[in-house]
């Protein structure tokens, strides 16, 4: 929100209806954070003494994308010195979600999120178009980071990106995305080896086929309970039937296992511990759900590809970070974290609207800005009356 940033990125250029950067930021929080419409936002500002139209509000918001992007970047936290000294690394959970514009049947935008498990806070939020897929390359990886993610990220290029930045990876294995070989470069048939073992945890050393550095990884395979394995096989069969394809024996064998690849050597962390860490991944799914359900991160009203759509998603992300910071949550109280978010959300609402400062003498002007605009086309109610008169006219 710093004044120099707003001026530098030309979000704030002149003092007219919007008097200062603080008021411009209030507009962002009203529209993006609290989900007021453009007209409602104009009504609130007019009630506060700055008469402005909904079109003028839109024009000012349209110029805020670059500024908000930089504000969001600067709000994201660094690694606390005390945690860095104590742990020596961050455990970063990574996942993404999608956003659709009103009426859309396909993805309009993607939200990419990383979550620091130890510090219990958002590390990065990225907003991209629908064509930008999930990738570790969207995030800044620091030396010593341990990245935990689902199988959608199990690709050679993503592995290499983390490893080249001196990070480590714990990720669910996807056989169709990543080819693993043995010490002599032969493709490994995991299905055959898993079929023969009676262990509930089976591990082995592997290498990536394309990796010229020949850095070894480890695959840890955890047998599912019988009821979960049966459900997994049922889903595989149903999907194959729906797609009209033959189901391979290997697919059914893999369905009985959770297979996790780790770049951390077993001498440093055991297979059992790898499984425990991977199961923590659900926390980032809860964070995304909280952003959507409590803060309506996906409640996008603007058209796809418009400046307003990008501003909305950036502004909503900043609002989410404000709620997170003000809630003061940590591992000690994470069980009630979502309740804290709700309480803080209600606490900041009157601060953003400044309802206590609304001026009674501006009420009529606010009502004027809230009224529906004159339409060139007839309203549906008027058309309905004309149709009824035709239907029931005397012959």
State residue 52's pLDDT score: 92
**Domain annotation covers residue 296:** no
Share of the chain above pLDDT 70, in %: 88
Looking at the structure, tell me whether residues 273 and 362 fall in a common domain.
no
Q: What is the pLDDT of residue 268?
A: 85
The more confident residue out of 213 and 163 is 163
| 8 A C-beta contact, residue 352 and residue 29 | yes
Is pLDDT at 224 greater than 80 in this prediction?
Answer: yes
Residue 281 is part of a domain; what is its CATH number? 3.90.350.10
In the chain, where does DSSP find H-type helix?
Answer: 3-8, 21-28, 38-47, 54-62, 65-75, 81-87, 156-164, 190-196, 226-243, 249-254, 271-278, 282-293, 307-327, 337-353, 363-370, 380-391
Residue 381 domain-assigned (yes or no): no
Domain that includes residue 35, residue range: 3-71+328-370
- Predicted confidence at residue 300, as pLDDT, reads 74
pTM of the model: 0.66
Do 252 and 129 belong together in one domain?
yes
Kindly state whether residues 58 and 80 are assigned to the same domain.
no
Distance from C-alpha of 390 to C-alpha of 395, rounded to nearest angstrom: 10
Taking the C-alpha atoms of residue 218 and residue 200, their distance in angstroms, rounded to an integer, is: 16
- At which residue do the structure tokens 């299905």 appear? 191
DSSP string, 351-379: HHHTGGG--GGGHHHHHHHHSPPP-SSPP
Residues 47 and 189 both lie in one domain: no
Asked if the structure places residue 248 within a domain, the reply is yes
pLDDT digits (tens, 9 = 90+) for 372-381: 766 655 566 6
pLDDT at 382 over 90: no
178 and 47 share one domain: no
Quick check: is 395 in a domain? no
Please provide the distance, in angstroms rounded to a whole number, between the alpha carbons at the two ends of the chain: 69
Q: Are residues 67 and 130 in the same domain?
A: no
Domain presence at residue 311: no
307 within domain boundaries: no
- Residues 54, 131 share a domain: no
In tens, the pLDDT along 35-82 reads 999 999 999 999 999 899 999 999 999 999 889 888 887 876 554 455
d(CA 379, CA 194): 67
**Residues 179, 226 within the same domain:** yes
H or E segment to which residue 126 belongs: strand 121-129
Residues 158 and 251 in one domain: yes
Among the candidates 289, 316, 337, a domain finishes at 289
* Boundary (domain end) residue, out of 289, 318, 350: 289
Alpha-carbon distance of 205 to 186, in angstroms, equals: 13
**What radius of gyration do the chain's Cα atoms show?**
27
152/246 same-domain check: yes
Residue 385 lies in a domain: no
Residue 182 falls within a domain, yes or no?
A: yes
- Beta-carbon count within 10 A of 114 CB: 26
pLDDT of 351 reads 93
Model confidence at 95, pLDDT cuts 50, 70, 90, reads very high
How many domains are contained in the chain?
2
Answer yes or no: do 89 and 57 share one domain: no
For the cut 70, the answer to whether the pLDDT of residue 21 exceeds it is yes
209 falls in which pLDDT band (50, 70, 90)?
Answer: confident
Closest by alpha carbon to 63, among 144, 7, 109, 108?
7
Of 242, 273, 289, the domain-final residue: 289
Contact between 93 and 115 (Cβ < 8 Å): yes
Joined tokens for residue 356: 């206590």
Q: Are residues 59 and 167 in the same domain?
A: no
CB atoms within 10 A of CB 115: 24
The predicted pLDDT at position 86 comes to 44
């Amino acid at each position: 929100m710093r004044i120099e940033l707003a001026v530098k990125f030309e979000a704030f250029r002149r003092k007219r209806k919007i008097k200062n950067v603080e008021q411009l930021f209030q507009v962002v929080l009203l529209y993006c954070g609290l989900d007021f419409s453009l007209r409602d936002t104009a009504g609130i500002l007019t009630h506060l003494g700055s008469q402005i139209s909904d079109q003028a509000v839109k024009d000012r918001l349209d110029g805020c994308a670059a500024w908000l992007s930089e504000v969001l970047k600067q709000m994201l936290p660094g690694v606390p010195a005390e945690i860095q000294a104590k742990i020596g690394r961050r455990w970063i959970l990574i996942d993404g979600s999608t956003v659709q514009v009103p009426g859309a049947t396909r993805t309009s935008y993607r939200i990419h999120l990383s979550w620091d498990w130890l510090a219990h806070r958002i590390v990065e939020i990225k907003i991209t178009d629908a064509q930008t897929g999930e990738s570790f390359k969207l995030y800044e990886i620091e030396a010593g980071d341990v990245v935990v993610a689902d199988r959608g990220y199990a690709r050679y290029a993503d592995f290499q990106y983390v490893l080249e930045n001196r990070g480590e990876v714990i990720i669910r294995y996807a056989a169709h995305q990543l080819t693993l070989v043995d010490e002599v470069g032969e493709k490994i048939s995991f299905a055959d080896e898993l079929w023969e073992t009676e262990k509930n945890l089976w591990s082995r050393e592997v290498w990536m086929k394309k990796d010229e550095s020949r850095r070894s990884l480890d695959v840890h395979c955890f047998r599912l309970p019988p009821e979960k394995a049966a459900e997994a096989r049922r889903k595989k069969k149903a999907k194959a039937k729906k797609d009209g394809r033959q189901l391979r024996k290997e697919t059914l064998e893999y369905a009985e296992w959770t297979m996790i690849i780790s770049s951390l050597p077993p001498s440093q962390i055991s297979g059992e511990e790898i499984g425990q860490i991977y199961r923590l991944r659900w926390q980032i799914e809860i964070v995304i759900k909280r952003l959507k359900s409590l803060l309506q991160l996906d409640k996008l009203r603007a058209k796809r590809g418009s400046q307003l759509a990008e501003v909305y998603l950036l502004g909503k992300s900043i609002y989410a970070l404000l709620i997170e910071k003000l809630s003061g949550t940590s591992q000690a109280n994470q069980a009630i974290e979502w309740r804290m978010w709700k309480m803080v959300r209600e606490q900041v609402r009157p601060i953003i609207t400044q309802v206590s400062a609304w001026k009674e003498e501006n009420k009529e002007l606010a009502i004027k800005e809230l009224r529906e605009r004159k339409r060139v086309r007839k309203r549906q109610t008027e058309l309905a009356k004309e149709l009824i008169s035709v239907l029931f006219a005397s012959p």
